[in-house]
Amino acid sequence: MAGRREQALDAAVRVLGSQGTRALTHRAVDAEGDLPAGTTSNYFRSRDALLSGILGRLLEQEKDAFAALAGEPHPVSADELAGRLGAMLRQLAGPARPMTLARYAIFVEAAHQKPMRLELLAWSRSLWSWAGEWLAALGSDRPEEHAREVLAFADGLLLHRLSRGGDGEFAPEASLAALLRALVEKPVDN
């Protein structure tokens, strides 16, 4: 069972992801988490402290998700990797939508707060290194650089889907596969 601090952070993620940054108050988090009044402010004295706590909680969850993904066998083709990334993006745009929206809101906050930005950058470097290993296995000659490009592209697809919606099926695999093939396949000399 999660402690009250984690309970408050999970509630804060839900508030942020479902109602936006303006709705994120200590009182709203207490109500969302069914916590006694004042609990959130006992753990996070300021809004900045709460935002920093949310970032830490989201990164913790992201690390767990990527650790599970990293434990799988390396993909053997661009299409296989595109399939895995596409499935992850559908999860993030569907059932995990509130958490994903909270993640993007925190990214915007990190742009204005150097300590949060540095924490996010440290995690990103780990992610680029891990993703670079998979791209190297597929033949990338610049795996970490390509990992940054692929993950930025995937984030763009996800953000576009979340912010602009769409009634049709979210099927990012073809776009991801095209990018991956362009990065890892060597041109044939004539």
Is there a domain that residue 54 lies in? no
- The answer to whether residues 20 and 105 belong to one domain is no
Is there a domain that residue 53 lies in? no
pLDDT in tens, 130-167: 899 999 999 999 999 999 999 999 999 999 999 987 66
State the pLDDT at residue 66: 77
Contacts of 68 (CB under 8 A, 6+ apart): none
- The answer to whether residues 83 and 164 belong to one domain is yes
- The answer to whether residues 129 and 39 belong to one domain is no
Is there a domain that residue 179 lies in? yes
On average, the pLDDT of the chain sits at 91
- The answer to whether residues 161 and 72 belong to one domain is yes
Is there a domain that residue 23 lies in? yes
Contacts of 82 (CB under 8 A, 6+ apart): 172, 173, 174, 176, 177, 180
Domain count, the chain: 2
- The answer to whether residues 151 and 94 belong to one domain is yes
Is there a domain that residue 110 lies in? yes
Domain that holds residue 179: 59-184
pLDDT in tens, 66-106: 777 767 788 899 999 999 999 999 999 999 999 999 999 99
Q: Rounded to whole angstroms, what are the CA distances from 9 to 32, 52, 61, 99?
A: 10, 10, 12, 12
